Chain A
């Protein structure tokens, strides 16, 4: 479903990604952990071309983009259509209601009829438990509610994978729980998800596989039980002790 080969990215003199490789199967939930500045978010942003990688190759749902060159905009768009994105800061469209936020993509990108888009959007809001908040604007919603709308907005595009960039980091502890519930549910349904997080509890709950990303490379990966319990690499062990 996702194939990443030798992905590299520099910001000026700083190499942020130094050859990242990943193969993720359909239905698999992969969680990427690691210290701040280790390249986790950049990795995710390179996957859907919000950043242009300097080298390597990304294939998602059969669409391949090469690093080191500016891909045609239409190719980028095709890739993004297959990879839904959820941001740490939600980034809901501030001038639209919750319902309109979820309808926006299906209506104007997938060109669905208003009725079809609205019915779909209501279903997604129902699924994340916000049916009664359909008419509310982002400023009228709590952070947790906003993030759930953002997840619904991404899912309404029926992406093949869902990329989540620290989806619970901007939330108070009690609001994190409601977002975790939704993510657990999605994982249980067998959605393909690639998630970057500092939230170890969330990682334990939903990961099929955990990647430890540090210094621009994947240092270690494995099922959560083994990686959290008995990490092989010293750096992994050190990191896990710090965040525990």
Chain B
């Protein structure tokens, strides 16, 4: 099911995806649509009439699944692109790729106007069969364990009990590694865990064999460990009830297997192996009866504690980030207001750079950039707190500056006239008043940071939004889990704003 290989555009992709509240909203909307499947027309008849098969996938998935030709960026390549072409040809129509955010592909099926089916490394599992209808497998993948070359104490999954293992979120690898008792680090894509493995932050990566093969070719410092295991199949996903389309797709895949088309395609991509023999042996009888998962809503006793535990991460990352922002922001404001010219320019440059570039980019820079180029290996927690803190410090500096400049000039004249040095006047007279003026803007940012902190999940920290996504993907219950998650965020913000108001009241005692 994992297909995001070479996330060339990892940054943009994640930025789209990680506006936490947005994800929850669209997820909940999709869940509503899924719950009310009602087909207006026979998709097979419609696509034949139209003359094209519209298939959904995410072009950022990467090699060997789907990727842009480096020589001709507008041209798509990959074994799934070729498979989709062959499938469309068998159905007697043209192949038309439709770009869709990978996470939401299955939910996107609910919208008939978008695409007819999904070809995107969707695993044929009981979970997925509970959400959509799946064809017979068109590709057999295995699980492959990857470690650093020369490491001798990692021979199988059993050796990794309690040790950090990178996996793609909500994948078969994720479940297998968790079951083996590894300390699972969850990633959004199939690139960064290889980076962290090379950097020594992980002891191993568990991933699908095509992804392992592709990356091992590029990173000689990594090596495959043991033999591939736990085979599974990628299947075409169609809307439940689209029985004509499902039958036609199954028949077409059978033909492509028996006439050797698939073998030719996979060989061309260097993916054909003995495991693919299993494709032809597959029978209708092995189809599990689709069972809808029980919605998480009724199992809130199980899921609420999981979400609350993840909220703990949200809280400490936010509080830590705010401490950094409040202190460093004050330093920046003072440098900007009172520093000598070059120092002042540096402070202005810092503020503009950190305000003017995405937080996500800054997190990647701190966590991956520093480690790869300078050998500064920050832990995910430290990198998250620093990134939030350094970014928000730029905002806080401007809040402080506004507050300090709002103190009437007579205050500082009166202080100087008393014989105070400029430093003493600043410390005793200007700052106590200026900081009080900036307090509401600063506490406002603190509340906003609770929501912004969801972005740190890109460096394998499972905070509240990430936990929600994992569980929602598992259960398909975006609505129930979304309501619980939103409730927790609301509780956090409300508690923070109560605290802020208390603090403001305490400090304003003298202003009447």
Binding site for B on A (CB under 8 A): 48, 50, 73, 77, 80-81, 84-85, 87, 89, 91-97, 104-105, 108-109, 137, 139-140, 150, 153-154, 157
Contact present for B419 and A139 (CB under 8 Å): no
Assembled-state Cα–Cα distance A97/B419 (Å): 20
The interface centre, meaning the residue of A48, A93, A104, A150 with most chain B CB atoms within 10 A of its CB, is: A93
In the complex, whether B267 has a CB less than 8 A from a CB of chain A is no
Assembled-state Cα–Cα distance A54/B419 (Å): 22
Contact present for A95 and B432 (CB under 8 Å): yes
Contact present for A105 and B418 (CB under 8 Å): yes
Smallest CB-CB separation from B429: which chain A residue?
A93
Contact present for A50 and B417 (CB under 8 Å): yes
- A191 nearest CB across to chain B (Å): 17
Contact present for A109 and B512 (CB under 8 Å): no
In the complex, whether B424 has a CB less than 8 A from a CB of chain A is yes
Total residues of chain B contacting the partner, CB 8 A: 22
Q: List residues of chain B with CB within 8 A of the CB of A77.
A: 419-421
A-B contact pairs, 24 of them (CB 8 A): A48-B417, A50-B417, A73-B422, A77-B420, A77-B421, A80-B418, A84-B417, A89-B410, A91-B413, A91-B414, A93-B411, A95-B510, A95-B511, A104-B418, A104-B428, A104-B429, A105-B419, A108-B428, A109-B420, A137-B511, A139-B512, A140-B512, A157-B418, A157-B419
**CB under 8 Å from chain A, chain B span 72-110:** none
Residue in A80, A85, A97, A108 whose beta carbon sits within 8 Å of that of B424 in the complex: A108
The interface centre, meaning the residue of A80, A95, A105, A140 with most chain B CB atoms within 10 A of its CB, is: A95
In the complex, whether B436 has a CB less than 8 A from a CB of chain A is yes
Assembled-state Cα–Cα distance A50/B414 (Å): 10
Q: List residues of chain B with CB within 8 A of the CB of A48.
A: 417
Assembled-state Cα–Cα distance A87/B419 (Å): 15
Contact present for A94 and B424 (CB under 8 Å): no
Q: List residues of chain B with CB within 8 A of the CB of A93.
A: 411, 414-415, 429, 433
Residue in B418, B510, B511, B512 whose beta carbon sits within 8 Å of that of A153 in the complex: B418
Q: List residues of chain A with CB within 8 A of the CB of B414.
A: 85, 87, 91-93, 150
Smallest CB-CB separation from B433: which chain A residue?
A95
Assembled-state Cα–Cα distance A105/B436 (Å): 22
Q: List residues of chain A with CB within 8 A of the CB of B408.
A: 91
- A153 nearest CB across to chain B (Å): 7
Assembled-state Cα–Cα distance A93/B411 (Å): 6
Q: List residues of chain B with CB within 8 A of the CB of A104.
A: 418, 428-429
Other than A80-B418, A108-B420, A109-B418, give 10 A-B pairs with Cβ distance below 8 A.
A50-B416, A73-B422, A80-B419, A87-B410, A93-B433, A94-B511, A104-B429, A137-B511, A139-B510, A150-B414
- B117 nearest CB across to chain A (Å): 68
Contact present for A50 and B413 (CB under 8 Å): yes
Residues A139 and B411 in contact in the complex (CB < 8 Å), given A50-B416, A104-B418, A108-B428: no
Assembled-state Cα–Cα distance A31/B84 (Å): 97
Q: List residues of chain A with CB within 8 A of the CB of B424.
A: 108-109
Q: List residues of chain B with CB within 8 A of the CB of A105.
A: 418-420
**CB under 8 Å from chain A, chain B span 285-322:** none
Assembled-state Cα–Cα distance A104/B411 (Å): 13
**CB under 8 Å from chain A, chain B span 490-512:** 510-512
Smallest CB-CB separation from B436: which chain A residue?
A95
Contact present for B411 and A85 (CB under 8 Å): no
Residue in B411, B421, B428 whose beta carbon sits within 8 Å of that of A94 in the complex: B411
Assembled-state Cα–Cα distance A91/B415 (Å): 9
Contact present for A91 and B411 (CB under 8 Å): yes
- B480 nearest CB across to chain A (Å): 50
- B392 nearest CB across to chain A (Å): 26
- A145 nearest CB across to chain B (Å): 16
Residues A81 and B510 in contact in the complex (CB < 8 Å), given A87-B410, A87-B414, A91-B413: no
Smallest CB-CB separation from A140: which chain B residue?
B512
Assembled-state Cα–Cα distance A159/B416 (Å): 14
Q: List residues of chain B with CB within 8 A of the CB of A91.
A: 408, 410-411, 413-414
Assembled-state Cα–Cα distance A134/B509 (Å): 16
Q: List residues of chain A with CB within 8 A of the CB of B422.
A: 73
- B92 nearest CB across to chain A (Å): 81
Q: List residues of chain B with CB within 8 A of the CB of A81.
A: 419
Assembled-state Cα–Cα distance A101/B416 (Å): 14
Assembled-state Cα–Cα distance A93/B407 (Å): 10
Residues A109 and B433 in contact in the complex (CB < 8 Å), given A91-B414, A104-B428, A137-B510: no
Q: List residues of chain A with CB within 8 A of the CB of B436.
A: 95
**CB under 8 Å from chain A, chain B span 408-461:** 408, 410-411, 413-422, 424, 428-429, 432-433, 436
